[in-house]
Chain A
């Protein structure tokens, strides 16, 4: 697992920017990132007539104005410019180019603000997280940058090792406690037979416990795995989120996709639910 060193942050000129910068400032106190790039995406493929009229009045290119605006916010948050912080303005309105840029920079983590009204794959964040190879963290408006407890959602798929490594890295830097959890969900076909369902759950639990111990031996950490059992019809994403919240976790770390997710999904349904429904907890998605 690479250290969290090369970080990107999305600024979108909204009020969120200041919150995000403050959040990352506090993270930086622990992490000491060697490089932070603040990315702004000019989400227009062409300028409207109104814009075309006012841009000449600026006396300098629009990109320059945006760069200065963002730099100002950075200065406010960090108490002046820092040579480890860059601003990147991506204009042209091509998400494809933006994705190429992000993948090309090999960021260890990309941080985005999450609006209360997240609109799934239609929003910029929703698109970029699906298209890029980087790890993403979504930060809601009212989250605390004080990380003391990390909820780690494991399903023992190929992501789980990376997810755990990421949790260990964050924990090492912040001193936060790791709280691993997994959901016991028997496949639908067992549902009519309640007694069998119990048996299936038991063997599922044993399997998970075994995989977990393997992971523990490999990575060397100690924390007990918690088993969550969903009520009928309860969405797993919701279950994980509620549990993390009730245990007063400060963030959730999980993989991009689960075991059962279809190849054609760019993001798993549980992950999707977690970044869509959550209002308080930051979610870190490991790819």
Chain B
């Protein structure tokens, strides 16, 4: 179908739309039992395939470092002469905003405190518990997460920009499936990616809106945290996202991402300077050291000798979560990374966001733990934070002077991160359902942005957000396999590309050719002179 307003790839677009609708209707009609079904599937997956996740995510890191340091690192995404579309600073801003901005706002305070209140190895509320809490949080938000994104994004970028294939997940399978990726197999892969993205995004929008609503209600008692209030907020956020979508990447997501980072930096500086500054500095160093020291043991740990179920609920949950988000984040990162060399890409995606994440976690969660340890009130702060994750950030900010301002900045930040997520998510879904076109008609992108909001709203009213989130995470397992295949495909593609680039460097003998050219020219001039 092709006209001014719509340019879609039917075999992906329609099944996706129908499946999304069917899924929502079933979830609404069946209600709570649906959530049980999904959570038993999820439990089954984490129980039986946890070890597989553990080894795979480690493989991704090894693979990334291998690519970064190997001779293939010099290959440029988009060809030898490609130039980056965005400056390095806006590139980082977009990486970070799309990758985890929103998750960090939600969990940045809460996760370390959760571990501190219920550590795996140590006593709760102790120094050892605090150290362990920070190390585990770093593990979940560190290199592994970004390695997952890097693998997906790099594969997509390479096949789209260097091999000139459509920017959709199916293209990555070309070395394996050949031209069959344009048939039903490719369609199935793309539909799976659309579903994971749409559900992941819709549930995040829904849960994020509860955070904004909870925050507003917490600070301004005028507001009541009701479903109606949430739906109104959702409408406003969706409207903002739609406007941002209409403006395109350059004026929309890019500008918003940059502002997100500025605001986030402001909040971070606020917390660091008005909070326990010295503790922040020293604990950042110590946390990073502990993380590096423990990374091998922790990231290969599978609870093999004593399964408490802790890992399934946290580590494996995170790995599955990052993986289920990876088609979306990966495609977005791919889109903004044309013109980077593979080395730049790997270290840009792996190191910079990870370090920023460490700073954030230490400033937010670390300081919260610090406050809790300092106060002699029966760990009231930790209790309040773990009670309700959606208000954790605001409870924490109450410990600061000018907490009102801090909280308002926090709310704006959450909202604006949601706008960027929704916006980039719509761009990605639109791109996949349009057969990999980079710039589909605006109407179509508006359709997806609005649809995302609508799905979230329906689920907020009818219930079933949690069910859908569980469903989204269960796509982690099929995608894990897809990701492993991606590594193989990418490696294969890079080997060839490198050989080709080397071959291009050598010059063809120009001298002999020029002699022949002269012959033709002089023949022609002689003819002209004669006539």
| Residues of A that sit less than 8 Å from B by CB | 12-14, 42-44, 48, 50-51, 54-55, 57-59, 62, 65-66, 69, 95-96, 100, 119, 121-124, 127, 130-131, 263-266
Contacts and interface: CB of A to CB of B under 8 A. Distances in A.
Contact of B508 (A127, A130, A264): A127
Interface in B506-526: 506, 508-510, 513-514, 516-525
Given A66-B520, A123-B508, A58 B525 contact: yes
Q: How many B residues touch the partner, as a band?
A: 20 to 34
B513 A263 contact: no
Contacts of B496: 263-264, 266
B528 A43 contact: no
A119 B507 CA distance: 12
A123 B509 contact: yes
B163 to A, nearest CB: 11
A122 B513 CA distance: 14
B314 interface: no
A58 B528 CA distance: 8
B499 interface: yes
A114 B506 CA distance: 19
A12 B500 contact: no
Given A12-B516, A264-B496, A264-B498, A59 B528 contact: yes
Contacts, number: 79
A19 to B, nearest CB: 15
Nearest to B79: A96
Interface string B358-382: 0000000000000000000000000
Nearest to A265: B499
Given A96-B504, A131-B503, A265-B499, A122 B509 contact: yes
B185 interface: no
B492 interface: yes
B461 interface: no
Contacts of A131: 500, 503-504
B495 interface: yes
Contacts of B499: 130, 264-266
A121 B524 contact: no
B506 A122 contact: yes
Most buried by A among B79, B80, B499: B499
Given A58-B521, A69-B523, 18 more contacts: A13-B519, A51-B518, A54-B522, A58-B524, A58-B525, A69-B520, A95-B504, A100-B164, A119-B509, A122-B506, A122-B508, A123-B508, A127-B504, A127-B506, A130-B500, A131-B503, A264-B498, A266-B500
A55 B499 CA distance: 37
19 contacts: A12-B516, A13-B517, A43-B508, A43-B509, A44-B514, A44-B517, A55-B521, A59-B528, A62-B521, A65-B521, A96-B80, A121-B506, A123-B509, A127-B503, A127-B504, A130-B499, A264-B499, A265-B499, A266-B499
Interface of B: 79-80, 164, 492, 495-496, 498-500, 503-504, 506, 508-510, 513-514, 516-525, 528
Contacts of B79: 96
Nearest to B500: A131
Contact of A121 (B498, B503, B516, B522): B503
Contact of A43 (B498, B513, B520): B513
A224 B79 CA distance: 47
Contacts of B525: 54, 57-58
Contacts of B528: 57-59
A66 B518 CA distance: 11
Contacts of B498: 264
Q: Which 8 A-B pairs have the closest CB atoms?
A: A43-B513, A13-B516, A263-B495, A264-B495, A124-B508, A43-B508, A264-B499, A266-B499
Contacts of B503: 121, 127, 130-131, 266
A100 B523 CA distance: 32
Contacts of A57: 525, 528
Contacts of A14: 516
Nearest to B491: A263
Nearest to B80: A96
A264 B502 CA distance: 11
Nearest to A48: B514
A12 B513 contact: yes
Most buried by A among B499, B508, B521: B508
Contacts of B517: 13, 42, 44, 51
Contacts of A48: 514
A20 to B, nearest CB: 15
Nearest to B164: A100
Contacts of A42: 517
Most buried by A among B79, B509, B517: B517
B521 to A, nearest CB: 6
Contacts of B519: 13
A158 to B, nearest CB: 10
A10 to B, nearest CB: 12
Nearest to A100: B164
B508 A54 contact: no
B526 to A, nearest CB: 11
A140 B499 CA distance: 27
B204 to A, nearest CB: 40
A258 to B, nearest CB: 16
A96 B79 CA distance: 9
Given A43-B513, A57-B525, A95-B508, A13 B500 contact: no
Contacts of A58: 521, 524-525, 528
